[in-house]
């Protein structure tokens, strides 16, 4: 993958910062064994990432080719996978 420009690095940093709090809240719900809220947070985060991706494709089309792989990596975070939330059901 080619090196990201300063602008692209800033975009990725802002995306990660924007979801960091949501991930933290989701982890708190999982620690409380609250499956319903954990799944709700997962769906919210995935929707948020879809919106961010759509925005970037439309407004930053020149940058999209360089950052699409990183956006895919962000979506692959183990905390956004259904199996992660199902661990609650297995414990309860």
SS3 for 76?
Answer: coil
Dihedral, 84, 38, 28, 45 alpha carbons, nearest 10: 90
Distances in Å between the Cα of 67 and the Cα atoms of 28, 48, 49, 72, 87 are: 29, 16, 13, 9, 31
pTM for the model stands at 0.76
Domain spans of the chain? 17-86
Kindly state the tokens that stand for 69: 């792989």
The per-residue pLDDT string of the chain (92 residues; one tens digit each, 9 = 90 and over) reads 567 788 888 888 998 998 999 999 999 999 999 999 999 999 999 999 998 888 878 776 777 777 888 888 899 999 988 888 888 877 76
Instruction: Find the DSSP H helices in 1-92.
Output: 6-31, 35-59, 61-75, 82-91
């Amino acid at each position: 993958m080619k090196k990201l420009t300063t602008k692209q690095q800033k975009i990725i940093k802002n995306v990660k910062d924007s979801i960091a709090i949501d991930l933290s809240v989701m982890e708190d719900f999982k620690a409380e064994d609250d499956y319903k809220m954990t799944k709700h947070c997962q769906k919210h985060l995935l929707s948020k990432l879809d919106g961010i991706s759509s925005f970037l494709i439309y407004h930053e089309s020149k940058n999209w080719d360089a950052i699409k792989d990183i956006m895919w990596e962000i979506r692959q975070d183990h905390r956004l996978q259904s199996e992660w939330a199902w661990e609650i059901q297995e414990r309860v």
